[in-house]
């Protein structure tokens, strides 16, 4: 069984697998489920840690709504005030742009909210 399948099936069985602060695997859930999965987790420990680290890196995706360039005037869904490559929100010379279809996941102008 590959590490991704171990994580998926263990999660379906009520286990929560996460990286601890020290970079090891933290398995929580019902004692019976933890005991049932521990041998397989130990056997594939290095690969599961790599999989969890990759998932943690993937979850660090940027989002427009968490960017300091995000503006939400009135009752709008929001606009971008930091990218020149997006379509204008209201017309020529308007400072705000429409949000990208990917919600900012591939944005190189993203800045954390202050």
**What tokens does 59 get?**
């979850």
Give the domain ranges of the chain.
Answer: 3-58, 62-114
Average the pLDDT over 5-20 and give the result: 86
The answer on pLDDT for 60 being more than 60 is no
Between 56-60, 63-67, 95-99, 110-114, the lowest mean confidence (pLDDT) is in 56-60
Q: What pLDDT does 61 receive?
A: 53
Strands 16-19 and 79-80: unpaired
Centroid of chain to Cα 15: 20
The answer on pLDDT for 47 being more than 90 is yes
Helix (H, G, I), strand (E, B), or coil: what is residue 27? strand
Q: What pLDDT does 36 receive?
A: 95
């Amino acid at each position: 069984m590959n590490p991704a399948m171990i994580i998926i099936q263990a999660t379906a069985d009520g286990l929560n697998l996460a990286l601890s602060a020290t970079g090891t695997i933290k398995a929580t859930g019902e004692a019976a489920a933890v005991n049932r999965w521990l041998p397989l987790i130990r056997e594939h420990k290095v690969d599961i840690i790599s999989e969890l680290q990759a998932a943690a890196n993937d979850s660090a995706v940027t989002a427009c709504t968490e960017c300091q360039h995000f503006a939400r005037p009135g009752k709008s869904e929001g606009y971008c005030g930091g990218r020149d490559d997006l379509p204008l929100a209201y017309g020529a010379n308007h400072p705000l742009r429409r949000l990208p279809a990917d919600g900012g996941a591939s944005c190189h102008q993203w800045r954390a909210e202050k």
